[in-house]
């Protein structure tokens, strides 16, 4: 019995320490984290949601995405209360995740030595930036630290935008606000800005599951960052989120137009649609093909199983 307990403690300790030891998740680990995804992947294992789908998602609202995710049982995907460089510049992208913890000097030295031996260069807070690709969003858990928790300034901000042409989402701080503002196209969602340097913090994982406030983020999740906050969409649900939100948008556009025209009452539009309204909607779609963000074939397939 004592031997079994000892083995269990040893095994549990290995499971707890393994993400720290791995530091940069292997392809196999990332595939395990994101097993629901069946499409293309990057060499590092992250789901490769298409650029076209990312652009479509940028045009939907946080509320619409949130509603679909809740319906699928994903209740921990949204986080609000951010400081932003630009409130009017939303962005989407594929999450490259990193997790930081308070520094433990001995472990920090070993982690740096291990990373350098594996080919990483410089301070560990630059390693996730070196790994960014076009379309990535750097998402980092720095346990809400702002003072001495500034993960980037304008130098690293320029490097991030050069590699990804996207922004960042940090549960931590940033510095050099004026310099970051001058990076055309760049945006940052952070907990605050502070002039201090990053201190007493160490990187322990890249491309691992992270917690950002109340939200869970997996590598390759679609990041939708808007003024209301940030929602993290699991890659395998990205297409469903997009087309569902787009259908609701089209339905609302049609409804608003018919209400202004006095064709239907609010009760008719807000309630379950009659066959007459459904047919009118389909004719409206035929007459407004330029409004469709998806193909008509995709929309028709979606509407087959839709409760109106």
pLDDT confidence of residue 9: 36
- Decide: 98 and 139 in contact? Cβ < 8 Å: yes
Q: What is the mean pLDDT of the chain?
A: 92
Look up the CATH superfamily of 32-48+80-233: Ribonuclease E inhibitor RraA/RraA-like (3.50.30.40)
Q: What is the pLDDT of residues 14-25, one digit of tens each?
A: 333 344 445 899
Angle 238-261/275-287 helices, nearest 10 degrees?
Answer: 100
**Of 232, 237, 202, nearest to 219 (Cα)?**
232
Number of CB atoms found within 10 A of residue 288's CB: 13
Give the DSSP letter of residue 221.
P
Report d(CA 53, CA 47) in Å as an integer.
13
pLDDT at 226 over 70: yes
Q: What is the pLDDT of residues 43-94, one digit of tens each?
A: 999 999 999 999 999 999 999 999 999 999 999 999 999 999 999 999 999 9
Query: Structure tokens of 275?
Result: 């066959």
Q: What is the pLDDT of residues 231-281, one digit of tens each?
A: 999 999 999 999 999 999 999 999 999 999 999 999 999 999 999 999 999
Q: Grade residue 197 by pLDDT with cuts at 50, 70 and 90.
A: very high
pTM for the full predicted model: 0.88
Domain boundaries, given as residue ranges, for the chain: 32-48+80-233, 239-304
Q: Grade residue 118 by pLDDT with cuts at 50, 70 and 90.
A: confident
* % the chain with pLDDT above 70: 93
pLDDT at 305 over 90: no
The predicted model gives 162-181 an average pLDDT of 98
């Amino acid at each position: 019995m004592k031997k079994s307990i000892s083995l269990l403690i040893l095994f549990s300790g290995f499971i707890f320490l393994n993400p720290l030891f791995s530091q940069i998740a292997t392809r196999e680990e990332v595939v395990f984290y994101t097993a629901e995804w069946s499409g293309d992947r990057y060499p590092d294992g992250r789901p490769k949601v298409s650029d076209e789908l990312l652009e479509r998602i940028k045009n939907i609202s946080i509320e619409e995405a949130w509603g679909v995710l809740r319906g699928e049982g994903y209740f921990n995907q949204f986080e609000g209360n951010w400081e932003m460089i630009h409130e009017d510049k939303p962005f989407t992208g594929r999450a490259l995740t990193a997790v930081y913890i308070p520094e433990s000097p001995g472990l920090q030295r070993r982690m740096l030595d291990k990373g350098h031996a594996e080919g990483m260069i410089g301070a560990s807070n630059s390693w996730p930036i070196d790994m960014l690709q076009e379309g990535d969003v750097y998402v980092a858990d720095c346990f809400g630290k702002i003072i001495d928790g500034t993960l980037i300034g304008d130098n690293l901000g320029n490097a991030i935008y050069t590699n990804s042409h996207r922004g960042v989402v940090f549960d931590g701080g940033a510095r050099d606000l004026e310099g970051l503002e001058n990076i055309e196209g760049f945006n940052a969602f952070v907990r605050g800005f502070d002039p201090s340097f990053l201190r007493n913090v160490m990187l322990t994982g890249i491309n691992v599951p992270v917690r950002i406030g109340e939200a869970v983020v997996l590598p390759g999740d679609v990041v939708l960052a808007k003024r209301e906050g940030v929602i993290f969409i699991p890659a395998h649900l990205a297409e469903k989120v997009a087309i569902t939100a787009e259908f609701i948008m089209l339905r609302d556009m049609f409804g608003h137009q018919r209400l202004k025209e006095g064709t239907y009452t609010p009760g008719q539009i807000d309630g379950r649609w009659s066959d007459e309204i459904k047919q009118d909607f389909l004719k409206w779609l035929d007459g407004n093909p330029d409004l469709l963000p998806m193909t008509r074939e995709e929309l028709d397939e979606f509407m087959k199983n839709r409760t109106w």
